[in-house]
A and B are shown apart, each in its own frame.
Chain A
Amino acid sequence: MTDTASKRADNLSRRGLIIPVLAVVMLAAILICLCVGKYSISPADCMRILFGKIVSAEPSWDAMDEKMLIGVRLPRTMAAVIVGAALALSGAVYQGIFKNPLVSPDFLGVSSGACVGAAIAILMSMSSGFVQICAFLGGIIAVFLTVFIPRLMRSDSNIMLVLAGIIVGGAMSSILGFIKYIADPETELAAITYWQLGSFAYVDNKAVLGILPLTIIAAAVLLVMSWWINILSLGEQEARTLGANVPLLRGICIVCSTVLTAGAVCISGTIGWVGLVVPHFGRMMAGSDNRVLLPASCLIGGIFMLLVDTVTRIIGPAEMPVSILTGLIGAPFFAWLLYRQRRTIR
């Protein structure tokens, strides 16, 4: 092998090294988030309980600690990791396949559709489980409508899809507005608004485990196909000249990303900014190659969400909705990222 080739190999492994580094950071973040809070558990106790549970050892720890850790904090931490990773991954995929770095996972109408679904369920005073199911279906239906509009116009172009997303998103927010207008302001309106701003406060094990299999499958498919997202990011025509079956590849990507986003939304409500900002941050750390970017975005999204959720748990007397904080962090952070990348964005 030549000099350049071996130098290149070094370079690749250095870039690939970011994944294990991020994985370690994530494990550390999980441990911290499990321990920190208004009821704090020492890291040593935390580890002891977790390992003890795995090997089903005799409990040698405080029963209250266990209840707090296993019953409350563990599902919440897992939910934050899953939601952060899912939103960041689908954001990165959407940005790649629509070759537009300013696209976020909800631009085909997933989030607005999910909001409408959840709001209808809240209005009909359904249980929280049904609210989640309705949110998931609402998101899927909205994207289905978005994808259907260009079909109706016999167009296969990305621009048409983006415009269809604006149409559906606009219609959905009007419907949501109407629902909020007729909702009982004391209870239902408050629930809808809280849901719209996103929170992990009411996460339970059942919701997380219910959505986990679909989420894992969708994420795995996207990670396996990551290199083809590079090809799709060249544009429809160029991708076809490289032998890509564009409608099929793009269809699979949209289905998987939609499932990820809708799944995330039904766990936590809508959370803004993560899917837009994290992939950019990922590109800065790991480069644009989706083979590295997609796993890196997953990990960064999970870490970011964990930290944000922990902060919302700690500060203030009552828990703050997550979107408030992601927006407050995300907006200036995005401005800084754009400043850093101003050369490559045109």
Chain B
Amino acid sequence: MMQPVYEVNNITFRYPGYKAKVLDGASLTLGKGEILCILGPNGAGKTTLLNCMAGLLRPESGEILLCGRDIRSMKEKEIATLAGYVPQLHTPAFDYSVLDFVLMGMAPKTGMLSRPGADDERKCIELLEQMGLAGLADKSYLDISGGERQQLLIARALVHEPEVVLFDEPTAHLDYGNQHRILRMIKKMAASGYSVIITTHNPDHALLLGDKAAVVSKGGTIVQGDSSEIVTEDLLSKVYDIDIRIRYIEELGRTACLVPGL
């Protein structure tokens, strides 16, 4: 069997100064080229889990293996080289040009007394061209739309070619069309070999992406499996505490997750 990209073993986490554990014995695995969709109610610890996996937070106990290595023994740079991180949409304090912004993705491969060179810049432009965003290169990052910004955050995470990309709610703050364009992009990324983890509030996204899913429950444990096994009426109704239906819709040729009404 191939070595998993991520292996989270029985981790426990609580924020300093709080008694309650956010994660309590949470485990999951991510194989190469897989898409894992992390679901869970508000405050259950989806983002906490993601941040532990990115090495931003340190679990109290348990271990996290990234490509077989314990992340506690890895430097920021080593983690960042393997795991690209796409943060939630935000507005930076300064108006960098789009190209300068994407170029920052080269940081994991750049020395502290160094800066990216012409080759790195060319790589960024090539990636922008592949993504159909080359026209934006000279624009200010503050002048473009939210959908474009989210795509550039993805470009920034991809430009140094990590093994796995972590998305913190990539569809939050986006309109309906852009949400699905981002999902399409994620699916394409997985097809070209990247492993992907996303957190989302919409269980339908797990069905649309159609690979793996994990649900973080309020108690801080995780149930993981194929999304068709995990995204079930029973489990979701319990986790979200609301009546949820999963139906196969003939015209669409897919299963969808819906609420019966208010």
Q: Is there contact, CB below 8 Å, between A243 and B107?
A: yes
Contact of B77 among A4, A245, A287 (CB under 8 A): A245
Interface residues of B in 119-158 (CB under 8 A from A): 121-122, 125, 128-129, 134-135, 137-138, 140, 142
B176 within 8 A of A: no
B82-113 to A contact mask, C-beta < 8 Å, 1/0? 00010100011111110110001101101011
Q: Known interface pairs A8-B121, A225-B112. Does A289 touch B92 (Cβ–Cβ under 8 Å)? A: no
Number of interface residues of B (CB under 8 A): 43
Q: Is there contact, CB below 8 Å, between B116 and A245?
A: no
Q: Is there contact, CB below 8 Å, between A2 and B77?
A: no
* A230 contacts across to B, CB distance below 8 A: 96, 100, 104
Closest chain A residue, CB of each to CB of B87: A238
* B134 contacts across to A, CB distance below 8 A: 2, 4
B239 to chain A, nearest CB (A): 27
* B16 contacts across to A, CB distance below 8 A: 154
Q: Is there contact, CB below 8 Å, between A2 and B125?
A: yes
B60 within 8 A of A: no
Closest chain B residue, CB of each to CB of A100: B93
B80 within 8 A of A: yes
Interface size, A (range): 35 or more
Distance of A298 Cα from B24 Cα, bound (Å) = 52
Q: Is there contact, CB below 8 Å, between B138 and A11?
A: yes
Q: Is there contact, CB below 8 Å, between A288 and B94?
A: yes
B227 within 8 A of A: no
Q: Which 7 A-B pairs have the closest CB atoms?
A: A243-B80, A241-B85, A243-B108, A227-B115, A288-B94, A242-B107, A243-B77
A residues within 8 Å of B by Cβ?
A: 1-2, 4-5, 7-8, 11, 96, 99-101, 154, 224-228, 230-231, 233-234, 237-238, 240-246, 248-249, 283, 287-289, 291, 343-344, 346
Q: A101-B94, A240-B80, A242-B104 are in contact. List 13 more A-B contacts (CB 8 A).
A: A4-B135, A8-B99, A8-B138, A99-B94, A230-B96, A237-B56, A238-B85, A240-B55, A243-B77, A243-B78, A288-B95, A288-B100, A343-B142
